[in-house]
Structure 1
């Protein structure tokens, strides 16, 4: 019976490529279903065998631990160099774009809440 290993929705292309290479390097017999264009079906990596699924899950777990560490280190390096940050960083670096985005959020919130707010 097919075993679903990982959902591909919202997975960056570089991560999916690294996982494909990981499976190929370790001889995992797998197949892939792509996510739908509209986000209805999730797509993912699959295997047919239970033993293969256990081996692939162990590889995925080790890969994700390592990726989390490298991504966290990359983010901390960007913070230390002053190349990344939160809202205040974006406001200082790109004031017009940030203010337009905030204004757009407020307009969307206002339009969404308008039917529930009694005016007058």
Structure 2
């Protein structure tokens, strides 16, 4: 019976493509299910052979470690060069959005903490 190898919910397209290429390059047979039109299922990559699944999981662990290291290196480079996204940068670029989100967060906190006391 096939086992779900990778649920594609919230997986960036470039990462999904890299994982597909990784499986193909290592001759691991897989099939892909498409997302449902109603958003119930996000689709996934499935592997039938248990031996191939174990090998694919080891390859995936190495891939994810390398991807994490690349992302951290990119983030560090962005911070050194001043390109990293910051709160002040967001506030300057989209002040209405940031202030609106802060107001919404404050309203949720106030309602969460004050509403039970007001209903007593």
Normalization by structure 2: what TM-score? 0.79
* Match of residue 116 from structure 2: 116
Tell whether the 8 Å contact from 1:3 to 1:46 is kept in structure 2 after alignment: yes
The secondary structure found in structure 2 opposite 1:53 is helix
Aligned-pair CA distance for 1:41: 3.2
Using the TM superposition, name which of 85-94 and 62-71 deviates more: 85-94
* Match of residue 28 from structure 1: 28
* In 2: Cα distance, 1:115 partner to 1:37 partner: 39
Normalization by structure 1: what TM-score? 0.79
* Match of residue 96 from structure 1: 96
Aligned-pair CA distance for 1:76: 1.1
* In 1: Cα distance, 2:36 partner to 2:111 partner: 28
The secondary structure found in structure 2 opposite 1:45 is strand
* Match of residue 72 from structure 2: 72
Aligned-pair CA distance for 1:44: 1.9
* In 2: Cα distance, 1:14 partner to 1:86 partner: 24
Q: Which stretches in structure 2 are left out of the alignment for 5+ residues?
A: none
The secondary structure found in structure 1 opposite 2:118 is coil
Q: Which stretches in structure 1 are left out of the alignment for 5+ residues?
A: none
The alpha-carbon distance between structure 1 residues 119 and 9, as it changes in their structure 2 partners (threshold 3 A), is same
Q: How many residues align?
A: 119
